[in-house]
Amino acid sequence: MTVNSIIEIKNVYKFFGDLAALSDVSLDIKAGEKVVIIGPSGSGKSTLLRSINRLEEISRGSIVVDGQDVHDKSSNINNIRQELGMVFQSFNLFPHKTVLENLTMAPIKLKGIDKEEAKAIAVDLLKKVGINEKANVYPSKLSGGQQQRVAIARALAMNPKIMLFDEPTSALDPEMIGEVLDVMKNLAVEGMTMVVVTHEMGFAREVADRIVFMDDGRIIACEPPETFFTCTDHPRLKQFLSQIL
């Protein structure tokens, strides 16, 4: 265990009935690190990511985020989650709120930030993701790429220490993938700790400090991109890479 790990995943198991979605998964992530998780469908990538903010309860093991045991019943999960921004494949913006309200709602209600200040922060964030002119429209009026950028901004509005992304570009038309990845790359440059499940190998190669390959609920390989793509130690990984590259 490294002292400055902001996420410590230790011997985690997750069972759905008999199915082991996660088997003895351990992973330490340092503050500021960018970790990309790849692997075939059903290998447990989402389950692992969702365990980090307890959207999924784990069966065994422990996950510590910023010194707090996420799955300990005595820890305040709602507070821990404020440190963990999450971006979903299907955006999940609140359709009954304007773009601006999507961003200000949580900071106002959860952090007690006053309305005007929350608005100012939201406007800045919208500028950052390049859609400040859409602040007062409803999400249904936005393209997929715009919605996903708003979703990222919404998560950032809580000023989290860590951002989790679960296939943020998989639901997007190809021409919109770039704009979302650009926002994520900027975030990476600013030093955000990021855990990203994605099939975008270009992004992984460019941004990741480490790439984790999962198969059948296990972490098979965890390497920096330089060695990852040429890694031949693992037959499953070799086969996976030959399919996607």
Partner 1 sequence: MKDKPVKIEITDGAGIPAKNDAGLISAWWISFIGAISIITYLVVTKPDPYKDILMFVPDGILVTFQVTIFSIIGASIIGLFTGLGRISKNRFFNLIASTYVEVVRGIPLLVQLFYIYYALGRVLLVPDMLSAIIAMSVCYGAYMGEVFRAGIDSIDNGQTEAARSLGFDKNQTMFLVILPQAWRTILPPVGNEFIALLKDSSLVSILAVADILRRGREFAAESFQYFETYTMIALLYLLITLILSKGVSHMEDRLNHYDR
Ligand X SMILES: Nc1ncnc2c1ncn2[C@@H]1O[C@H](COP(=O)(O)OP(=O)(O)OP(=O)(O)O)[C@@H](O)[C@H]1O
What are the residues binding Mg ion (CB under 5 A)? Answer: 46
Adjacent-strand bridge partners of 19: 16
Per CB under 8 A, the segment of 2-10, 82-90, 191-199, 224-232 that binds partner 1 is 82-90
Nearer to ligand X, 28 or 216 (CB): 216
Stretch 9-28: interaction string toward ligand X, x if CB under 6 A: -------x--x-x-------
Q: Is 28 helix (H, G, I), strand (E, B) or coil?
A: strand
Give residue for tokens 């959860």.
Answer: 110
Contact 99, 139 (CB under 8 A): yes
Least gap, CB of 74 to Mg ion (angstroms):
30
- Reading the block at residue 61, the tokens are 């093991």
Phi-psi region of 32 (alpha: psi -120 to 50; beta: other; left: phi over 0): left
| Count of Cβ atoms closer than 10 Å to residue 232 Cβ | 8
User: 203 is in the binding site of which of partner 1, ligand X, Mg ion, none (Cβ under 5 to 8 A by kind)?
Assistant: none
- Reading the block at residue 6, the tokens are 């902001």
Q: Does 75 bind partner 1 (CB under 8 A)?
A: no
Residue type, 70: V
Nearer to ligand X, 44 or 107 (CB): 44
User: 39 is in the binding site of which of partner 1, Mg ion, ligand X, none (Cβ under 5 to 8 A by kind)?
Assistant: ligand X
- What angle, 0 to 180 degrees and rounded to 10, lies between the N-to-C axes of helices 99-111 and 115-128? 130
Least gap, CB of 197 to ligand X (angstroms):
7
Q: Does 78 bind partner 1 (CB under 8 A)?
A: yes
Stretch 136-155: interaction string toward partner 1, x if CB under 8 A: --xxxx---------x--xx
Q: Is 213 helix (H, G, I), strand (E, B) or coil?
A: strand
Distance, in Å, from the CA atom of 62 to the CA atom of 244, rounded to the nearest integer, reads 32
Least gap, CB of 106 to partner 1 (angstroms):
4
Nearest by Cα to 212 from 1, 28, 10, 71: 28
Q: Does 165 bind partner 1 (CB under 8 A)?
A: no
User: 109 is in the binding site of which of ligand X, Mg ion, partner 1, none (Cβ under 5 to 8 A by kind)?
Assistant: partner 1
By the criterion CB under 6 A, which residues form the site for ligand X?
16, 19, 21, 39, 41-47
